[in-house]
Chain A
Amino acid sequence: MAVLATNSNTQAAARRVNIWDTPWLNAKFVTGSSIIVLVLLFGLLGPLFWNTDLAFTASSPVNLPPMWDKGGSPEHPLGTESNGRDMLAQLVVGIPASLKVGLLAASIGMGIGILLGSLAGYLGGWTDHIIRTITDSVITIPSLMVLISIAAYVRMPDTTAMALILALFAWPGPTRLIRSQVLTLRERGFVRMALLSNVPALEIMLFEMVPNMLPWLAASLTGGISGAILGATGLEALGLGPTRVPSLGTIINYALNSSALVRGMVWWWLPPIITLVIIFTAFFLMTVGLDEIANPRLRGYGNGK
């Protein structure tokens, strides 16, 4: 009996250490999400420290280089561009705007995906046939071309309209993923147990299946966000975005229009690109990390010493 007692004590001790032994503490996922948090903080806390009115035309002197260059001024640390906008203020305003478009478009896509995917997977039969056919056709459409045509016709007043247009092409991926997940989960023992326990279909989907899809859903969402940001930036760089609010894509668009490249105004076009690269890398790390969390086989084990 004494032996058993010590046994359970050590087990309790082990359980306490255990909270750190979770797959969610994946190095890639943690790095990626930390970067995103830092980028977000820059956009959210930026207005407290910097005057965002400087992001609008003719608010500052034109063509100032960054403060560390000759002729630069500490009043505009990252310089200004040809229309008299402060670069730092533009980044402070543009980063959240771009992230918002991405998040909104990806969430709408995910929402549609969850609905259609679970319907197709769970009901099967004709429902599945129809949803699958539509999804597969939409996936084959070259989205950027269609988006360009739509964006050229619709005058976009703000980022929300932009997000809605991008969402048109953001749902087939999640739909496919969720359909296949539901299909495999439907055969799993615990779903059958729920069926045998007379649990209604909606409850099975929400409380038995969805929790088991979380890492997949999260991975798909982060992938979707960076895809939508890329699409938005592409449209904006082509001058098809909302022109009132600066975003990372519009900065690039103005830089292109004003031949910033030829004029050697590196401080104009490089910062938005670097920011985008950082955002994409972070989302990529999150997606890969979440993939490893969802799929233990990809998880590398450290060599035990």
Chain B
Amino acid sequence: MEQPIISVQDATKIYGGGFLSTSKPFVALDRFSLDIYESQAKIVTIAGESGSGKTTLANLVLGFILPSSGKIMYKGQDVSTMTREQRRIYRKEVQAIFQDPYEVYNPFYRVSHIFNMVVRHFNLAQNKNEAQQLIEDALNVVGLRGSEILEKYPHQLSGGQRQRIMVARAYMLRPRLIVADEPVSAVDASLRAMILDIMLKLRDRHHISFLYITHDLSTAYQISDKMYVLFQGTTVERGNAGKIIENPRHPYVQELIDSIPVPDPKMKWNTNITLPPEEVMRMKSSVGCRFYPRCAKHMDICTRAFPEYTQVEEDHEVACYLYQ
């Protein structure tokens, strides 16, 4: 059996509620599991709205935070107990691109700083020429030329260029996995396609997997292979991305997909949806289905325990009592 490059095992992240703390503990991510294998590059979407825990998961996988319980394993090695050298290899193989392509540039330095950091700290090149060649090659993959951008300051570039440079930076390390946290949420429609296209290219030609974190189900549908839909820290539906979006089973996912505005004036929203009062929306149960207060089809059993995952079709599982 092949060892997964990243294996998230029952990861739970709880904020607050510590010693001397007055705030109630808040479960940001609840028993999340996921394996990504090196042999078959995939784009895995983590979809969810604000507060669903998707960014928490990204931070866990990148080692920025540690899980409260459960494990994040990189090739069989727990991320929290790595030696310096192991961490260097893990950093090299698990890279990231972020939502705001402006934020990730230190305004003090030119664009080349981003690449120099990587070359220096991962010992990618023996000399300057070699480094130059590496940077140029990486930039070419995303359709840029070094002479055009390296000596510029980040504010002199367009949003699309900035994001493509970040992809080039990640690519330079030849990672096995790139965590892409909302990479297209802050760019214009025309650039969105360009970035997504580069992601597909990296998957198909360079066999790099992606953990695509997004709130946008339609782009997820267009590019991803596998999908996990999160709601308040829990995974409500998981499996093949196409199957989930074409045929959502969980009432929450159905509501979500139904709410995406259809770009056709002839197909206007015909039903009105109403959200329950604020108190109900804020009610957070730690046992049972988190969607219970908002669910139109809720049953008594829903509050007892979190539903087991039911396989509704091949490669499509849902955590809902309606299907048990």
Contacts and interface: CB of A to CB of B under 8 A. Distances in A.
A10 B118 CA distance: 34
A193 B64 contact: no
Interface stretch (B104-112, B191-199, B315-323): B104-112
Contact of A197 (B100, B107, B118): B118
Contacts of A193: 104-105, 114, 117, 169
A205 interface: no
A198 B106 contact: no
A189 B121 contact: no
A190 B106 contact: yes
Contact of B117 (A189, A194, A211, A212): A194
A208 B88 CA distance: 20
Interface string B76-101: 00000000000110011001101010
Range class of the A interface residue count: 10 to 19
A188 interface: yes
B313 interface: no
Contacts of A212: 106-108
Contacts of B103: 188-190
Nearest to A188: B103
A208 B105 CA distance: 10
Given A196-B95, A198-B88, A199-B117, A190 B62 contact: no
Contact of A196 (B91, B106, B108): B91
B26 interface: no
Contacts of A244: none
Range class of the B interface residue count: 20 to 34
A190 B166 CA distance: 11
B64 A195 contact: yes
A299 interface: no
Nearest to B87: A198
Interface in B121-147: 121-122
A155 interface: no
Contact of B121 (A188, A190, A199, A208): A199
A152 B188 CA distance: 68
B100 A189 contact: yes
Contacts of A198: 87-88, 91-92, 121-122
A190 to B, nearest CB: 4
Interface string A197-237: 11100000000100110000000000000000000000000
Nearest to B62: A196
A199 B87 CA distance: 12
B117 A197 contact: yes
A211 B100 CA distance: 21
Contacts of B95: 196
A199 B118 CA distance: 8
Interface in A157-203: 188-190, 192-199
Nearest to B59: A192
Nearest to A211: B108
Contacts of B100: 189
A192 B104 CA distance: 8
A199 to B, nearest CB: 6
Contacts of A197: 91, 114, 117-118, 121-122
A199 B88 CA distance: 10
Contacts of A199: 117, 121
Contacts of A188: 103
A190 B162 CA distance: 13
Determine which residue in A190, A194, A199, A208 has the highest number of CB atoms from chain B within 10 A of its CB, and name it: A190
A194 B62 CA distance: 13
A172 to B, nearest CB: 23
Nearest to B118: A197
A208 B113 CA distance: 11
Determine which residue in A188, A189, A192, A197 has the highest number of CB atoms from chain B within 10 A of its CB, and name it: A197
A218 to B, nearest CB: 15
Nearest to A191: B106
B79 to A, nearest CB: 13
A196 B96 contact: yes
Contacts of A189: 98, 100, 103-105
A49 to B, nearest CB: 43
Nearest to B122: A198
B104 A190 contact: yes
Nearest to B108: A211
Interface in B37-96: 62, 64, 87-88, 91-92, 95-96
Interface of A: 188-190, 192-199, 208, 211-212
6 contacts: A189-B98, A189-B103, A192-B64, A192-B96, A192-B98, A198-B121
**A-B residue pairs, 9 tightest by C-beta:** A189-B103, A189-B104, A190-B106, A198-B121, A197-B117, A211-B108, A193-B104, A197-B118, A198-B91
Interface of B: 62, 64, 87-88, 91-92, 95-96, 98, 100, 103-108, 114, 117-118, 121-122, 169
Given A193-B169, A197-B91, A199-B117, 7 more contacts: A189-B105, A190-B105, A192-B96, A194-B106, A197-B121, A198-B88, A198-B91
